[in-house]
């Protein structure tokens, strides 16, 4: 188990796995923090058109290696903080 | 703190189990077993009782491919008493770079039989049960009910949801792994097995709790289409065997329903985790090769194991196509989606070109660039399907010029679209029309039926089709 380099000040790291990597053509990048988890989907959709339907809707999201639910309307939001590590993990189903 | 004693018992592998028969107590190891399993029995935490539990266990391995082969080797080697192998496919040369339980000499043989012949040679002591047909909603419960633990080594989402659902209903722990291209995942589900509908405390998740919906059908990658690195899938299969052995040796596969309901059930304490493996071909030893992620426990609203699940998922329902797994995974789309006038056979396209009737046209090849690199039809331009969809989505949203989706600028030339097997190309034709690239029907956009596979069969037998 290793860690990725620290993001620049005022940013968090976001890791893309499996089809999220192919969709964004990236393994990792830094995004401005703090950011509400609910807004993350919008921020990513803005950068990568179609990623919501193509990847995010069926992927799981972790913050600092722990699973988080994307909050629905009316549910408490989670804030992604500076230095956090977020991961987008689509299901892999082949074998 | 009240759980300490049980935790200790489990960690030294001699937990006292409710079901005395399964502990194997009262039986001696044979000399052959003693010799064969000595190196793992002396490992701290194992011992004779744990070995006897393995010998008395029954494991079902669903899928005898890239995951199932390595997993089965270690399951057999460890001395699991009964090993069932399900797979309807036959061994093909393209399997052998990763499916290490098969052999060149067994190409064409049913995979379940081929893998078992390998395992018998490795360890003749276990009982091996081949199932040379695929698992299905019809047979899943009958087969799974005969085993203590299931390894999901399959290759498609529809089967993964089916197996998870049946394991929940039959109280079977499920060790699920998956792998494609350069990624692998592994998670232990429904362990310890917990009855449907119990959500009062933290209970283990099922596959649906982790992945509520499958990816859209057009993004579901198979190893055949997307490729797979042998060591990546191999590591996941080996790790699956490791988890299965751990569960069986410590008796964690026994349903928590057998213990009393006083609330201090030690089974509640296991932290579910998802192991992720990503392998980077372009980098020196990658910055993040393995990651273990803390997963959430059972979801309250899960249709398979959550609060009202006894009403939403039953064994009878599964047998009568409720839920319909293929539909759920978007796999029941008809093969032909385009009308005849928008399609042409590979041989007819070739003949039209040869006759000189087709001078200026654009031929789009929507395969991945790696596939394209092995060969293409003369004049074809590569626009991978995923990229095409992304461009289409961008143009649709931002209202850009639809023609920009084409790599060649020409407002009138007819467009032909070819893919690998003829599905993506039809969708691509639809997308282009949706964007108005056909100028309201004035410009022809045509799908080449059956893709490059048909091209090889009908036109150019020497074409290197992968």
pLDDT digits (tens, 9 = 90+) for B391-417: 888 888 788 888 888 888 877 899 999
pLDDT of B224 reads 77
Task: Report the gap between the CA of B234 and the closest CA in chain A (Å).
Answer: 10
Nearest CA to CA, how far is B98 from chain A (Å)? 10
Give the model's pLDDT for residue B19: 43
| Separation in Å, CA B369 to CA A27, A29, B361, B384, B387 | 19, 24, 21, 7, 11
- Are the Cβ atoms of B215 and A58 closer than 8 angstroms? yes
Spell out the long-range contacts of B110-117 with Cβ–Cβ below 8 A and sequence spacing 24 or more. B111/B64, B111/B65, B111/B85, B111/B87, B112/B64, B112/B85, B112/B86, B112/B87, B114/B64, B115/B64, B115/B68, B115/B69, B115/B72, B115/B85, B115/B87, B116/B85
What's the mean per-residue pLDDT of chain B?
A: 88
* DSSP character string of B130-157: EE-S---TTTHHHHHTT-SEEEE--S-H
Nearest chain A Cα distance for residue B135, angstroms = 15
Q: Name the active-site residue from B69, B153, B210, B419.
A: B419
For residue B1, pLDDT beyond 70: no
For residues B217 and B340, the model is more confident at B340
* pLDDT score recorded for residue B21: 42
B210 is in an annotated binding site: no
- Judged against a pLDDT cut of 90, whether residue B327 lies above it is answered with no
Q: Helices in B300-436 by DSSP H: which ranges?
A: 309-312, 315-319, 325-328, 346-354, 369-373, 385-398, 424-434
Q: Please give the Cα distance from B408 to B294 (Å, whole number).
A: 48
| Residues of chain B neighbouring A65 (CB-CB closer than 8 A) | 291-294
B 93-132 residues with CB < 8 A to A: none
Does B253 show up as a binding residue in the annotation?
no
Residue B66, annotated as binding a ligand? yes
Query: What six digits make up the tokens of B447?
Result: 């799908």
Residue pair B277/B185 in contact by the 8 Å Cβ criterion = yes
Which of A17, A48, A95 is the closest to B154 by Cβ?
A: A95
Rounded to the nearest angstrom, the minimum Cα separation between B211 and chain A is: 7
Arithmetic mean of pLDDT, A45-60: 91
Categorize the per-residue pLDDT at B336 as very low, low, confident or very high, splitting at 50, 70 and 90.
low
Report cis status (omega within 30 of 0) of the bond before A23.
no
Dihedral sign for Cα B180, B181, B187, B188, please. positive
Please state, as a whole number, how many other Cβ atoms lie within 10 Å of the Cβ of residue B137: 22
B145 is in an annotated binding site: no
DSSP letters for B279-310: --TTSSS-S-SEEEEEPP---TT-TTTSTTHH
Q: Give the B window 137-176 contacts with A, CB below 8 Å.
A: 153-157, 160
Q: Residue B283: which pLDDT band, with cuts at 50, 70 and 90?
A: low
- Using an 8 Å CB-CB cutoff, list chain B residues near A70: none
pLDDT for position B35:
95
User: Residue B209, annotated ligand binder?
Assistant: yes
**Highest-pLDDT range among B166-170, B177-181, B426-430:** B166-170
Task: Check residue A70 and give its pLDDT.
Answer: 85
Least confident among B46-50, B107-111, B254-258, B438-442: B254-258
Which residues does B352 contact at the CB level (< 8 Å), separation at least 6? Answer: B344, B358
> Residue B320: is it exposed, middle or buried by C-beta count within 10 angstroms (0-12/13-18/19+)?
exposed
> Does B263 have pLDDT greater than 60?
no
Q: With contacts defined as CB-CB under 8 Å, which chain A residues touch B220?
A: 93
Note whether B386 contacts A23, CB cutoff 8 Å.
Answer: yes
| B66 contacts A95? CB cut-off 8 A | yes
Can you read off the two tokens belonging to residue A83? 């230095």
* Stretch B222-231: mean pLDDT: 85
Distance from CA of B343 to the nearest CA of A (A): 27
Contact B180 A93 (CB under 8 A): yes
Mean local confidence (pLDDT), B21-46:
84
Q: What confidence score (pLDDT) does residue A5 get?
A: 72
Q: A74 to chain B nearest CA, in Å?
A: 17
Q: Is residue B22 over pLDDT 50?
A: no
CB contact under 8 A, B393 and A27: no
> What residues in B contact A4, CB-CB < 8 Å?
287-288
Helical spans, DSSP H, in B325-384:
325-328, 346-354, 369-373
Tell whether residue B98 is among the known ligand binding residues: yes
Chain B residue with Cα closest to A2? B288
pLDDT at A86 over 90: yes
A95 contacts in chain B (CB < 8 Å): 63, 65-68, 153-155, 177-180, 223, 233, 236
pTM comes to 0.82
Residue that wins the pLDDT comparison between B75 and B265 = B75
CA-to-CA separations, B368 to B365, B371, B463, in angstroms, rounded? 9, 5, 16
Place of tokens 């690195």: B229
The DSSP element (H or E) to which B75 belongs, if any, is helix B68-77
Q: Which pLDDT belongs to residue B16?
A: 40
B-chain residues within 8 Å CB-CB of A57?
Answer: 213
Would you state the pLDDT for residue B20?
42
Select from B163, B166, B195, B165 the least CA-distant residue to B176.
B163
Contacts of B276 in chain A (CB under 8 A): 17, 87, 89
Active site residue B419: yes
* B328/A contact by beta carbon, under 8 A: no
For B218, which residue in chain A has the nearest alpha carbon?
A54
| Higher local confidence (pLDDT), B314 or B223 | B314
- Give the model's pLDDT for residue B255: 66
Task: Give residues 66 to 85 of B whose Cβ lies within 8 Å of A.
Answer: 66-68
The answer to whether B400 faces chain A, any CB pair under 8 Å, is no
């Amino acid at each position: 188990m290793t860690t990725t380099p620290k993001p620049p000040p005022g940013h968090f790291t976001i890791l893309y796995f499996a089809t999220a990597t192919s969709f964004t053509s990236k393994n990792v990048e830094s995004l401005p923090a703090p950011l509400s988890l609910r807004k993350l989907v919008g921020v990513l959709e803005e950068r990568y058109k179609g990623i919501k339907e193509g990847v995010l809707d069926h992927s799981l999201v972790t913050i600092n290696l722990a699973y988080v639910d994307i909050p629905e309307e009316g549910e408490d939001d989670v804030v992604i903080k500076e230095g956090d590590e977020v991961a987008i993990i689509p299901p892999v189903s082949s074998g | 703190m009240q759980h300490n004693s049980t935790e200790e018992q489990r960690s030294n592998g001699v937990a006292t189990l409710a079901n005395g028969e399964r502990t194997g107590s009262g039986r001696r190891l044979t000399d052959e077993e003693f010799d064969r399993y000595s190196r793992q029995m002396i490992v701290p935490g194992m011992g004779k009782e744990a070995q006897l539990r393995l010998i008395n266990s029954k494991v079902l391995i669903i899928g005898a491919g890239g995951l199932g082969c390595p997993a089965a080797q270690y399951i057999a080697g460890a001395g699991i008493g009964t090993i069932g192998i399900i797979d309807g496919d036959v061994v093909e040369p393209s399997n052998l770079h990763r499916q290490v339980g098969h052999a060149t000499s067994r190409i064409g043989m049913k995979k379940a039989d081929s893998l078992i012949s390998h395992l018998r040679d490795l360890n003749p002591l276990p009982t091996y049960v081949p199932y040379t047909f695929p698992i299905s909603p019809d047979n899943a419960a009958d087969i799974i009910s005969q085993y203590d633990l299931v390894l999901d080594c399959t290759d498609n989402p529809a089967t993964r949801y089916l197996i998870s659902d049946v394991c929940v209903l039959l109280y079977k722990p499920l060790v699920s792994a998956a792998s494609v291209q350069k990624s692998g995942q592994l998670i232990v589900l429904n362990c310890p097995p917990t009855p449907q509908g119990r959500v009062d405390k933290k209970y283990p998740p099922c596959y649906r709790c982790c992945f509520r919906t499958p990816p859209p059908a057009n993004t579901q990658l198979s190893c055949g289409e997307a490729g797979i690195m042998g060591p990546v899938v191999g590591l996941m299969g080996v790790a699956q065997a490791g988890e299965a052995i751990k569960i069986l040796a410590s008796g964690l596969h026994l349903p928590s329903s057998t213990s009393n309901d006083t609330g201090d059930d030690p089974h509640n304490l296991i932290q579910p985790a998802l192991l992720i493996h990503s392998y980077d071909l372009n980098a020196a030893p990658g910055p993040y090769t393995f990651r273990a992620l803390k997963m959430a426990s059972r979801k309250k609203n899960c249709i398979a194991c959550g609060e009202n699940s006894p009403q939403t998922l039953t064994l009878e329902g599964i047998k009568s196509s409720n839920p319909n797994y293929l539909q759920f995974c978007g796999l029941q789309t008809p093969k032909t989606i385009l009308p005849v006038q928008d399609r042409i056979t590979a041989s007819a396209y070739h003949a039209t070109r040869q006759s000189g009737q087709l001078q200026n046209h654009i031929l789009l090849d929507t395969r991945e660039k790696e596939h394209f690199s092995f060969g293409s039809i003369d004049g074809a331009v590569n626009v991978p399907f995923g990229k095409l969809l992304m461009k289409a989505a961008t143009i649709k949203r931002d209202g850009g010029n639809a023609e920009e989706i084409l790599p060649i600028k020409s407002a009138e030339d007819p467009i032909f679209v070819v893919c690998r097997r003829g599905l993506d190309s039809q969708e691509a034709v639809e997308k282009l029309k949706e964007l108005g690239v056909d100028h309201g029907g004035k410009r022809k956009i045509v799908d080449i039926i059956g893709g490059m596979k048909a091209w090889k069969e009908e036109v150019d037998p020497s074409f290197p089709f992968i």
